[in-house]
């Protein structure tokens, strides 16, 4: 689905309304995860909390709506969050009533700071907000309509750059793999998490188009089940051989010799190569090292935080304990009052990583020149 098709279908939405696509597109890459509506006054997202049962879009026209969509994982994946935030700042900048640049920037900065708090771990959110902020501060002498137009162009550029990066990551990642390999992935780093194609799943899509016939094993990824609900959904929808496994089955399928490489995405990469990714990633890396399986991290350079020296410096988001105790069950599956700890991410130390694949190059240890 190209941009014009997206806008043509989604422009019928009004605030608070949704459009159910009813599986009208056979391939996941035909679906846009994040875009602007035709009028440019709302951000349109695919509601990922409803997948795989419903392919439903939401129209977000307020900062509160976008904040909640990011916080509640209606839009998720580090690059997709950044793109949504960039589009959002453009949309919300048009809503600001100001008589001067100073008044405009004061309101704009308040919205920016508010959105930055939605999810603290993924670096792409803050990076996109910073880029949009620089557009405003670099054009203080311009008219407000001119600034708003520049904000839209910057948001579109962020999306275009991410799409190009994903395709390049796919090419470089595929160079590390051989036809017929068994691949294990954790969480969702595919088309749903970015603008197009994905990061960890990008070489899988390219390989499928070129006859590689990979056999993919997708960890379910507790507690939010991004592997079961999202990765299995998009790979299956695209006709790729995918088998869903519980997180605690990874060691068993590795021991059987069914896995020849692990491919995962990343939400933040520290300057020393430590990686923050969905909770459970570090355990997969430890298992891969034990069985002598290469462990590849794939992500755009926008996820690299050169100001963060190591994984210990990364803020780990903690989420509501009910995601563990009751969210996915017909009735509560843990005793009332029991303590529950629910970090959204963990840190994979750089010494467990075989290579980090960005759109620029494949980086091997030592990871002292990531960008």
Looking from the CA of 126 toward its CB, the CA atoms found within 13 Å total 12
Structure tokens belonging to residue 9? 């279908």
The DSSP code sequence of 2-65 is -HHHHHHHHTT--TT-EEE-TT--SSGGGS-SEEE-TTSSSEEEE-GGGTTT--EEEEE-SHHH
Determine the Cα–Cα distance for residues 200 and 215; give it in Å rounded to an integer. 14
Kindly list the catalytic residues: 267
CA-CA-CA-CA torsion sign (170, 171, 173, 174): positive
Q: Would you tell me the crossing angle of helices 144-174 and 123-137 to the nearest 10 degrees?
A: 140
The DSSP code sequence of 115-153 is HHTS-SS-HHHHHHHHHHHHHHHTTTTS-HHHHHHHHHH
Nearest C-alpha neighbor of 101 from the set 131, 61, 145, 62: 145
CB under 8 A, 24+ apart: contacts of 100-108? 101/140, 101/141, 101/144, 104/136, 104/144, 104/147, 105/136, 105/137, 105/140, 108/133, 108/136
CA angle 351, 199, 56 (to 5 degrees): 135
């Amino acid at each position: 689905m190209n941009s014009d098709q997206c806008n043509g279908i989604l422009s019928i939405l009004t605030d608070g309304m949704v459009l159910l696509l009813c599986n009208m597109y056979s391939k996941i890459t035909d679906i846009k995860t994040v875009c602007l509506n035709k009028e440019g006054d709302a951000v349109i997202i695919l509601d990922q909390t409803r997948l795989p049962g419903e392919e439903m879009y939401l129209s977000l026209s307020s900062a509160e709506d976008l904040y909640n969509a990011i916080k509640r994982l209606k839009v998720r994946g580090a690059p997709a969050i950044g793109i949504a935030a960039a589009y959002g700042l453009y949309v919300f900048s048009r809503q600001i009533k100001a008589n001067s640049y100073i008044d405009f920037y004061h309101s704009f900065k308040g919205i920016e700071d508010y959105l930055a708090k939605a999810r603290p771990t993924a670096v792409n959110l803050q990076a996109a907000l910073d880029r949009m902020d620089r557009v405003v501060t670099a054009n203080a002498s311009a008219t407000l309509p001119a600034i708003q137009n520049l904000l839209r162009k910057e948001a579109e550029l962020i999306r275009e750059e991410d799409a190009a990066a994903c395709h390049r990551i796919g090419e470089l990642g595929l160079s590390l793999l051989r036809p017929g390999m068994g691949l294990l992935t954790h969480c969702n780093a595919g088309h749903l998490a970015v603008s197009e194609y994905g990061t960890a799943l990008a070489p899988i899509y390219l390989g499928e188009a070129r006859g590689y016939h990979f056999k993919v094993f997708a960890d379910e990824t507790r507690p939010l089940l991004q592997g079961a609900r999202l990765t299995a959904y998009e790979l299956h929808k695209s006709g790729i051989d995918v088998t869903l496994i519980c997180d605690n089955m990874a060691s068993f399928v590795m021991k059987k010799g069914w896995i020849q490489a692990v491919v995962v995405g990343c939400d933040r990469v520290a300057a020393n190569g430590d990686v923050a990714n969905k909770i459970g990633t570090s355990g997969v890396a430890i298992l891969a090292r034990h069985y002598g399986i290469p462990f590849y991290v794939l992500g755009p350079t926008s996820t690299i935080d050169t100001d963060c020296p190591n994984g210990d410096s990364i803020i780990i988001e903690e989420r509501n304990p009910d995601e563990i105790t009751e969210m996915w069950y017909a009735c509560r599956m843990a005793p009332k009052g029991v303590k529950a700890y629910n970090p959204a991410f963990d840190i994979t130390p750089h010494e467990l990583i075989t290579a980090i694949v960005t759109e620029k190059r494949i980086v091997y240890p030592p990871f002292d020149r990531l960008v």
